[in-house]
Amino acid sequence: MTLTRRIIPCLDIKDGRVVKGTNFLGLRDAGDPVELACRYNKQGADEVVFLDITASKENRGMILEVIQRAADELFLPLTVGGGIRTLDDVQKTLRAGADKVSMNTSAVQNPSLISEASTSFGTQCIVVAIDVKRRTQMESDKTPVLLPDGTSCWYEVVTHGGSKPTGIDAIAWAKEAENRGAGEILLTSMETDGTKEGFDIPITATISNAVGIPVIASGGVGTMEHFYDGFVNGKADAALAASVFHYGEMTVAEVKEYLTKRGIAIRPPGQ
């Protein structure tokens, strides 16, 4: 059976608005999250991801209100992340209308949250988001990843919006997340985020080969070919993009048409 690949627009939300930056910095406004999500719904997106990138407690009520508005108007799966720190947060987010929750910093700080959430709510709705950064100084206990220029590096898990190094090997962490009950990995490379130079293929392919759960490639889409590269060379199950969709450089429908012509199994828009 051929599994269809998924195209997922990602909406980074700050103070109730969609924003987009480069390498997690230089944020600019991109519109109302529900309006944008509805646009992607019409274009044939397979899912939509909302990430509350400030994730401060005072914004928690606001993001729940956004989730409720989106759930009322959307007819596609909605994943929500940012500020998911406790089982109660997971429950509130799902109850507001999210189909899946994404946890990142909190999962690193408290890995048992993955286990508890997957046991309580099912693995199918638990996504572990992993932000990574290349480290060229190899360490004996880290997994080497071969880069296109023939050199090796390892990938470190970073938290708090990419600002805090953890010393954790990304491949080992992805495996642990799967073992603890994560249903998917949302992988973002800080090397490529917002650059429009393509996904970070070496780490995407390495983690895709290392785990048995779906891997969502994130960070760096600039052309339709980048989606193809993420699926074929990155072995990703889904591809996530933001600015190319938000600023009208391409539509989800156009991407799906392109991928279908290149032989990628994709769910047609409107189905």
Please identify every residue annotated as catalytic.
12, 131
Contact 44, 252 (CB under 8 A): yes
Tokens matching residue 126: 């638990």
Give the 3-state secondary structure percentages of the chain, helix then strand then coil, rounded to 5.
Answer: 35, 30, 35
Report in angstroms the alpha-carbon separations of 90 from 83, 97, 107: 10, 11, 12
User: Rounded CA gap, 55 and 174, in Å?
Assistant: 23
Tokens matching residue 182: 């994560």
Bridge partners (DSSP) of residue 145 are 153
Indicate the pairing of strand 152-159 with strand 126-135: antiparallel
- How many other C-beta atoms can be found within 10 angstroms of the C-beta atom of residue 95? 11
Select from 156, 154, 98, 155 the least CA-distant residue to 127.
98
User: Rounded CA gap, 194 and 56, in Å?
Assistant: 23
Tokens 């072995």 identify what position?
Answer: 235
User: Rounded CA gap, 44 and 230, in Å?
Assistant: 19
User: Rounded CA gap, 208 and 187, in Å?
Assistant: 10
- How many other C-beta atoms can be found within 10 angstroms of the C-beta atom of residue 129? 25
